[in-house]
Structure 1
Amino acid sequence: MDKRRRYTTLLAALIALGLGVLAAKAAFAGWLEHGPAIFLSLAESGMSWCF
Structure 2
Amino acid sequence: MRDLIELVLRRENYVVQTAENGKIALQLLDTFGPDLVVLDLMLPDCSGYDL
TM-score, with structure 1 as normaliser: 0.26
Between structures 1 and 2, the one with greater helix share: 1
Instruction: Select the structure of larger CA radius of gyration.
Output: 1
For CA contacts below 8 A with separation 6 or more, give which structure has more relative contact order.
Answer: 2
State TM-score, norm by structure 2.
Answer: 0.26
